[in-house]
Amino acid sequence: MINNKTFAQAFRNLRAKSPLIHNITNYVSVNDVANIILAVGASPVMSHAPEDTQDLLQVVKAVGGVLVLNIGTLDQQQVDNMFFAGKKANELGVPIVLDPVGAGATRFRTQTALKLLSTLKVKVVRGNMSEIKALIGLTGQTKGVDSVADESDGKTIVREAAKVLGTNVAVTGATDYISDGEQVVMVNNGVKYLSKVTGTGCMATALIGAFLTVADPLAAAAYGIAAMGLAGELAAETSAGLGTFRIGIFNNVEKLNADIILKKGKISNA
Amino acid sequence: MINNKTFAQAFRNLRAKSPLIHNITNYVSVNDVANIILAVGASPVMSHAPEDTQDLLQVVKAVGGVLVLNIGTLDQQQVDNMFFAGKKANELGVPIVLDPVGAGATRFRTQTALKLLSTLKVKVVRGNMSEIKALIGLTGQTKGVDSVADESDGKTIVREAAKVLGTNVAVTGATDYISDGEQVVMVNNGVKYLSKVTGTGCMATALIGAFLTVADPLAAAAYGIAAMGLAGELAAETSAGLGTFRIGIFNNVEKLNADIILKKGKISNA
Amino acid sequence: MINNKTFAQAFRNLRAKSPLIHNITNYVSVNDVANIILAVGASPVMSHAPEDTQDLLQVVKAVGGVLVLNIGTLDQQQVDNMFFAGKKANELGVPIVLDPVGAGATRFRTQTALKLLSTLKVKVVRGNMSEIKALIGLTGQTKGVDSVADESDGKTIVREAAKVLGTNVAVTGATDYISDGEQVVMVNNGVKYLSKVTGTGCMATALIGAFLTVADPLAAAAYGIAAMGLAGELAAETSAGLGTFRIGIFNNVEKLNADIILKKGKISNA
């Protein structure tokens, strides 16, 4: 079951556990990602060098943490770092979440994401519609790193993507769709304003990582995305503009609690 | 004509177009630069690796976007990335804006900026007085990346710089001067407080890039700088301090509209 | 003497001097570090490439500035950059402050910090309890980059660490301890909420760097940490949540003045 009740319980467990989330991520939203992980009640580590991640992943393993890979500002060195860390994480049994930022926009991004997915065991992939479409060879349109794809067929595409990629897939947009290849879960939290702040996708992916320490992948993807959406809704209520809204996201991820989740969460089966 | 009316019209066109701005920039202000591009109504892409920028620039070309180069935290690899992307942009006809951060402070910065300018066709260079002076061999004083030069002769220097460098030059300071080597435009928006926030120069340069998709270089430089200045003025009105002021910049770039521009814009011919 | 009065005087001198602080630091908190340096009244430069830092350090030397090294997101290249800049700084007589982020969490971090300390003359090292313990071979527990060590024996450990490492050591936690190997100074400013924002340790280290331009190392460490703690206390008073609190830190470092310091500073001899 994936619903507001299980979400609220997972949230309580997450706060109690305060898990360690290891991120190899881009230099654009890295500060926001670290702060959103702290806000949700987990501990972030950002590190990319093999000499460093090798030891870190032992600690992550010991405390039941997660590795989040994000290709937002990739180059060959960073790709190598991700493969090194990803293989080590697989050996140790540390779960991996992948954010294929900009897949479809460049061949380098599409191919890197696909190679990460074919080489590593990844628990959840989260992207927007054009990114996920690109990964399964459907023609998406990517304008930079923002999605412009039609979302009407989200349910079909997310299930197909999960089947083709052999992992749990989350497609975020006006409605978010999450699938393991069979079941499809929808999240209807969030506001359009979130797409006007850079890195909100990266932050959602990191929150999925945090929930993955206390829930199975399909549920964790739904909870992470819903947590980000709820924070966006609440931040928009008191926002004086885009800058204030962005700061409000952190306020409201921190303020999240079981009551808010039970009252405002919008998770449903598609 | 470059005045509040043309500025207001360019702003409307910019919001309607939502152009793609590709940035190879420093890791200090990169998040702020992405968010200011979103706030003004454009779409940011931050990417540095040649494998990636090659494909990205094709997209940027297709949608009429711009490439912004910023040497704020340069090293040899990043310099190579900028030359690769810059040459590709020139081949494709994608306009380039350059921010020579810290020119004059180190030989590496001065020489890199000059080599970029002599190798690439650059549409606009924006810097503070000491940076621009350094590029034309005048003795400026640079204290770190902050300007300490006398600005009294701004009009003369900006025109001279535009002639010597063979491009449009913008010198930002208490008064901003922009020239194509003949005409000189002044902008008197802005507040001193902007210099207490890191990256406001980088953000102004990115806004010039955004306006360059809807205006000629001389006008785009004036509009980008005036937009930043207006946002600073409005943010200062309600600021509770430096942190709040910084967030207010994003609020107010987003809230910018033709009315505010017509009422408060201070663009004039020098 | 190190007390509120000397702190208030040093703060006035810092504002009058507006010193240049050169940072080779991590890409997570680099923007916050630059902005906190501006907020306290100093000028930041962030640069890592040897070609660049060589010239920059001449400027830093000329104006009586400081070099801050922070290993928050290290890799071999960045380590090389730190050694290059550190040796140059030592040659020129530019004081160095070191933040050994994550020492104890990985061998790479511990060994890099120790090698920096044995190769370079460092004026102040600031870390949390587990980082400092790791540097002197005591078993600390590091959970990512956050301290979980018992702080009851802070006074003993900081004095021991200063003796073993042959430099001034600052251990930040619920109570902060600073020692030169003989004297121990305590700071009791700050709020627990500071540990929920990424980079507050990095910012404290940068503030130590700023005060080191107007005070001796033991005093500068106390003032920098107390300034951060005071800003945290004041920010917490009006905070609407974690995001707002973080912004309030910048507001309140900027608003700091001799009155606040004399009234609320909590510096004492241990």
Interface partners of B (3+ CB pairs, < 8 Å)? Answer: A, C
Nearest to A97 by CA among A105, A85, A106: A85
* 8 Å CB contact of C74 and A49: yes
The answer to whether B222 and B205 have CB atoms below 8 angstroms apart is: no
**Please, what are the domains in chain C?**
17-184+197-216 (3.40.1190.20)
* 8 Å CB contact of C106 and A51: yes
Q: Residue B140: pLDDT above 60?
A: no
As a dihedral over the C-alpha atoms of residue A68, residue A74, residue A78, residue A81, rounded to 10 degrees, the angle is: 30
Q: How far is CA C209 from CA A208, A255, B13, B64, C126, in A?
A: 38, 34, 47, 45, 11
> Residues near B158 by Cβ (< 8 Å), separated by ≥ 6?
B132, B169, B170, B171, B177, B178, B179, B184
Query: Whole-angstrom Cα distance, residue B206 to residue A198?
Result: 15
The answer to whether B182 and B155 have CB atoms below 8 angstroms apart is: no
The answer to whether A254 and C241 have CB atoms below 8 angstroms apart is: yes
Pairs of CB atoms within 8 A across A/B: 97
The answer to whether C225 and C126 have CB atoms below 8 angstroms apart is: yes
Q: What is the pLDDT of residues B66-106, one digit of tens each?
A: 999 999 999 999 999 999 999 999 999 999 999 999 999 99
**Candidates A47, A246, A251; nearest CB to C242:** A251
Phi then psi for C147, rounded to 5 degrees?
A: -80, 135
Q: What is the mean pLDDT of chain B?
A: 95
Per-residue pLDDT of chain A (270 residues; tens, 9 = 90+): 899 999 999 999 999 999 999 999 999 999 999 999 999 999 999 999 999 999 999 999 999 999 999 999 999 999 999 999 999 999 999 999 999 999 999 999 999 999 999 999 999 999 999 999 999 999 755 544 444 445 468 999 999 999 999 999 999 999 999 999 999 999 999 999 999 999 999 999 999 999 999 999 999 999 999 999 999 999 999 999 999 999 999 999 999 999 999 999 999 988
* pLDDT for the residue numbered C270: 81
* 8 Å CB contact of A55 and C108: yes
Nearest to C222 by CA among C126, C106, C110, C88: C126
Interface partners of C (3+ CB pairs, < 8 Å)? Answer: A, B
**Candidates B76, B146, B198; nearest CB to C35:** B198
Distance from the C211 Cα atom to the nearest Cα atom in chain A, whole angstroms? 25
Distance from the C200 Cα atom to the nearest Cα atom in chain B, whole angstroms? 14
**Candidates C30, C31, C251; nearest CB to B244:** C251
Q: What is the mean pLDDT of chain C?
A: 95
Q: What is the pLDDT of residues C174-202, one digit of tens each?
A: 999 999 999 999 999 999 999 999 999 99
In terms of CA atoms, which chain A residue is nearest residue B248? Answer: A243
- Regarding an ipTM greater than 0.90, the answer is yes
Nearest to A215 by CA among A5, A3, A4, A13: A13
Best of B110, B145, B198 to substitute, by most chain C Cβ atoms within 10 angstroms, is: B198
| Mean pLDDT confidence for B17-43 | 98
* pLDDT for the residue numbered A59: 97
* pLDDT for the residue numbered A146: 46
Could you tell me the pLDDT band of residue B141, with boundaries at 50, 70 and 90? low
Query: Whole-angstrom Cα distance, residue B69 to residue B126?
Result: 11
* pLDDT for the residue numbered C152: 60
Distance from the C144 Cα atom to the nearest Cα atom in chain A, whole angstroms? 6
| Mean pLDDT confidence for B9-25 | 98
C-alpha angle with apex A32: A147 to C111, nearest 5 degrees?
A: 125
* pLDDT for the residue numbered B227: 98
Set of chain C residues whose Cβ sits within 8 Å of the Cβ of B247: 247
In terms of CA atoms, which chain C residue is nearest residue A49? Answer: C75
* pLDDT for the residue numbered C263: 98
| Mean pLDDT confidence for C263-268 | 97
Nearest to A236 by CA among A193, A267, A174, A268: A193
Q: Considering the entire predicted model, what is its pTM?
A: 0.96
Helices (H), B1-93: 4-17, 30-40, 50-62, 76-92
What single-letter DSSP state applies at residue A175?
S
| Mean pLDDT confidence for B148-172 | 87
Q: Residue B213: pLDDT above 90?
A: yes
CB atoms within 10 A of CB C6: 16
| Mean pLDDT confidence for B33-40 | 98
Interface partners of A (3+ CB pairs, < 8 Å)? Answer: B, C
* 8 Å CB contact of C199 and A31: yes
* pLDDT for the residue numbered B270: 80
The answer to whether C264 and C230 have CB atoms below 8 angstroms apart is: yes
Set of chain A residues whose Cβ sits within 8 Å of the Cβ of C247: 247
Please, what is the angle between helix C217-237 and helix C242-255, to 10°? 130
Q: In C, what residues contact A, Cβ < 8 A? A: 26-29, 31-32, 72-76, 102, 105-109, 142-146, 196-199, 240-244, 246-247
**Candidates A43, A247, A251; nearest CB to C144:** A43
